[in-house]
């Protein structure tokens, strides 16, 4: 099985890499600029790629011939909480976060769809419950919420468009996780989150195409 994970140098992406390597899979781990902890993993089944998903520049490194599971994990929150209030949010911040969190995964799928179709693979787009309108009772976070909501729609369209090619597409919510993004303040650790998401991916075809699923297997309305 070939797995490709974006934003794999730290946080949830790195934990996905470690999990799948432990399971004996071939893992393509992409990172934006520095490999960080990836550089210290000594495993012949690990293949690194340099890939900044915010631009159309080609990934650097050898891509797999087929991809069983693509995890579109890379993402940013954008400006801190105050920077994303109604008063302070800027067009530039909205565009920057949208470019990474929504257009980024779309770029990745456009680039890799041939390899994913070849394996009748699964695409897991990592969104966030913050992108669910149904769950939004606290407002704010304009850029992050909007970009992750848009990713859910992109993911749903992919699910419809790729179904006839045998590709299954779902969206994931990792939970509130102790990573740099949450300044390590999350409720769960990366191991718990990734263990749950991997199980959801494994069960993927038991979920309808385009569904939004939390790390604990619960469906999230959006
Ligand atoms: N942590 C949570 O509680 C939580 C909750 C809901 C959803 N999520 C989502 O889960 C995913 C992983 O989050 P995390 O908590 O692991 O965050 P993180 O620790 O901040 O890691 C983010 C990763 O994305 C990469 N990245 C950012 N911009 C990129 C770009 N332009 N091109 C390629 N890679 C890029 C980062 O690379 P660099 O090191 O080069 O910056 C890093 O590897 C994100 O999509 C996030 O929105 C997280």
Class of domain 2-214: alpha beta
Indicate whether residue 7 lines ligand 1 (CB < 6 A).
yes
176 CA from centroid of ligand 1 (Å): 13
pLDDT score for 41: 98
The Cβ of residue 46 has, within 10 Å, a number of other Cβ atoms equal to 17
Query: Which atom number of ligand 1 is nearest to the Cα of residue 7?
Result: 43
Ligand 1, closest atom to CA 177?
A: 3
Nearest Cα residue to atom 11 of ligand 1: 73
Q: For residue 13, report the phi and psi dihedrals to the nearest 5 degrees.
A: -60, -45
State which of 4, 6, 9, 11 you would mutate to test the pocket of ligand 1, scoring each by most atoms of that ligand within 8 A of its C-beta: 11
Which are the contacts of 188, defined by CB distance < 8 A and separation ≥ 6?
175, 176, 177, 178, 215
- For the segment 150-205, what is each residue's pLDDT rounded down to a tens digit? 999 999 999 999 999 999 999 999 999 999 999 999 999 999 999 999 999 999 89
Phi, psi of 221 (to 5 degrees): -70, 145
Q: How far is the CA of 126 from the centre of ligand 1 (A)?
A: 9
> Does residue 68 contact residue 117 with C-beta atoms inside 8 Å?
no
- Check residue 81 and give its pLDDT: 84
pTM for the complete prediction? Answer: 0.98
Low-confidence ranges of the chain (pLDDT < 70): none
Q: How far is the CA of 164 from the centre of ligand 1 (A)?
A: 30
For residue 204, what pLDDT is reported? 84
Per-domain boundaries in the chain: 2-214
pLDDT at position 67 is 98
């Amino acid at each position: 099985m070939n797995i490709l994970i974006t934003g794999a140098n730290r946080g949830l992406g790195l934990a996905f890499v470690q999990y799948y390597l432990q399971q004996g899979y071939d893992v393509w781990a992409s990172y934006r600029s520095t490999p960080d902890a990836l550089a210290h993993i000594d495993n012949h089944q690990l293949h690194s790629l340099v890939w900044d998903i915010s631009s159309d520049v080609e990934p650097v490194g050898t891509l797999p011939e087929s991809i069983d599971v693509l995890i579109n994990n890379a993402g940013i929150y954008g400006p801190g909480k105050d920077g994303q209030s109604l008063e302070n949010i800027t067009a530039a911040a909205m565009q920057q976060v949208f470019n990474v969190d929504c257009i980024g995964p779309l770029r990745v799928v456009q680039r890799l769809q041939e390899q994913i179709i070849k394996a009748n693979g699964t695409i897991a787009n990592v969104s966030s419950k913050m992108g669910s309108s149904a769950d939004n009772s606290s407002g704010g976070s304009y850029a992050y919420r909007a970009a992750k909501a848009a990713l859910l729609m992109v993911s749903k369209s992919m699910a419809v468009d790729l179904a006839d090619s045998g590709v299954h597409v779902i969206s994931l919510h990792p939970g509130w996780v102790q990573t740099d993004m949450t300044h390590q303040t999350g409720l769960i650790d990366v191991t718990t989150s990734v263990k749950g998401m991997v199980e959801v991916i494994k069960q993927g075809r038991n979920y309808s195409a385009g569904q939004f699923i939390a790390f604990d297997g619960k469906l999230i309305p959006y």
